[in-house]
Structure 1
Amino acid sequence: MIFKEFYGNTQYDQQVYRFTLVNRSGTRVSVLTYGGIIQSFFFRGIDIVLGFDNLQNYELQDAYIGAIIGRFANRIGNGVFPLNNTTYHLVKNNGPNHLHGGVEGFDRKVWRAEEKDESLHLFYTSLDGEEGYPGNLETEVVYHLDEENCLSIEYKAATDKDTIVNLTNHSYFNLNGHSFGTLEEHEVQIFGDTFTENDENALPTGKIRGVHNTPMDFRQPNLLLDRIDEDYDQLKFGKGYDHNWVIHGDGLRPFVKARGLVSGIMMEIFSDQPGMQMYTANFLNLSMKGKNNAIYPARSGVCFETQGFPDAPNKRGFPSSVLKTGEQYRSKTLIVLH
């Protein structure tokens, strides 16, 4: 079942709605037409995503909480990339780099919504030149909650001019409950044994590093915060985890398994993307309170951003993020709760 309700008006007087997907066991996911944001995700009566009770706080925050990220998730070095013998200049909004689609990325847009086949379909047209990107990009994101407590997020895009695309969702999870505090009592396993090395600005250098004998090794379940402050260059650069893991295999496959040791909730994520950024909210510093007056300090949620590799347009050897005219971008991520 899907329920629709008015949520509020943006600062530009655009109407925003909240759609809530509910299954027979009582699991429910609320999605806003503003940014395609996952505003709440209740499982066994516990809301496991950070968020806000009103639209104004979503507009004020700059942490991409719960939102669809596009056109290009993660960083593009110096806000520049080459394509078809042309150099494109994007907005720089993260030090010297372009991050998460720019100042007015997909997270700040009001999406058109349709209910179809017990799924929520969101649509947005990104115009040629928006934030510096070439081509008119027609984007669709589909949310579906099944009876096995699996939330699927499907991304589709097509362009009338060759461009780059990398879409993801930026939900902050705390499996012990959104208001639990920090990520203490979280166990994580990642199905990858290498990651893309970062420089001091969290931009990939182009090198792939192994996780063996480093605090990046989550091949077996480990407490998430157990090694986060170790004397390791990669953790120092980002004040914690903010890295892209290379995930084994191709097609729809396991990416990560996480468990809240207090709630007992386990989450598995599957995707068909080449990588996954795990971000432990190291820089979260909100001036406003979250849902039910919750306080969200740094490291109070973890993002698992299934994605193409950061800065892929500028790194030879990274999987291509180019979407050509006449082709369709398609990606799928499954979030399964137990």
Structure 2
Amino acid sequence: MKAVYTELHRSHDPQFFLVRGVVRRTTEQPERADRLLAGLAAGKHQLVAPTVFGQGPRMRVHSAEYLGFLAEAWDAWSALGDAGPEMIANVHPVRHAATYPTHIVGRLGWHTADTGCPIGPGTWAAACAATDVAATAAQMVLDGGDAVYALCRPPGHHAFRDVAGGFCFLNNSAVAAAHLRLSHERVAILDVDVHHGNGTQGIFYDRGDVLTVSIHADPAFYYPYVWGYAHERGEGAGLGANLNIPLPLGSGDDVWLAAFETAAKTIKSFSPGALVVALGLDASEHDPLRGLAVTTDGFRRVGASIARLGLPTVLVQEGGYLSDILGTNLTAVLAGFEAAR
């Protein structure tokens, strides 16, 4: 399996992370990619540089207003003269009878759901590069590839059409799915990150052509708290095209894999032409944000189960934070996939 990757992700190096009132350095660091690269090297996966697609793939899933904000944000912030080293909002409008703000501080709050997505001087470039990685992997599959892995950083599945959150700015998995839709009438997204893929759900919630399935830790006790419940089934044309499978905190391999079997039945019934896997490795028993307790063998087994769906597949990297076993778990997923294909 080939892997798409670019060093441009390193321009995004966030420092701020607020956890229950305590400020720490974020776990979404450039070193994540180094550990994932080590996992790819262990599996002897060939690295491919991404194609630069421009705004096209991003505009399929994000609003022009939001993309404009992200492109202009750092320069406008810097022009204030007294602002901090990263863009972190001090106001988050809930948009009830609200007017879109023109001031950069107001726009920052409007377009960020939480404090988990600080914007620095290189964030826009890195986020754009990540969408190019995702779109390139999708194009490789459209060109006849069986399965391609996209090492995207920063991650994307918490990003809505016009809101950043949870380390995510542009929704790489949604970009890949929309790109696959160029040739497939239906596409499915399977999100196996420990956190619910709330942004992905939001982008496709009223659409019947993209099935979104998410297996994650119970949002009653875990981020994102207000999305990811089983009763969220889609709306309008998308009613029935969203499936959430929340799991009890600390669930291990057996519970996780049983949830996958439920997801697989739904995906098969949807009959998609291609599959995007939002691959979160933060379900690991060793992840620093531990919500589930999946072993390396569990990741290998789920890789094999994904392969047995028999669909052209784009695996997009989402979560998975700094732990000694991060690269090993990536190797296991891809090896499990390849062995079963």
**TM over 0.5, yes or no?**
no
Give the TM-score normalised by the residue count of structure 2.
Answer: 0.29
Larger relative strand fraction = 1
TM-score by structure 1 length? 0.29
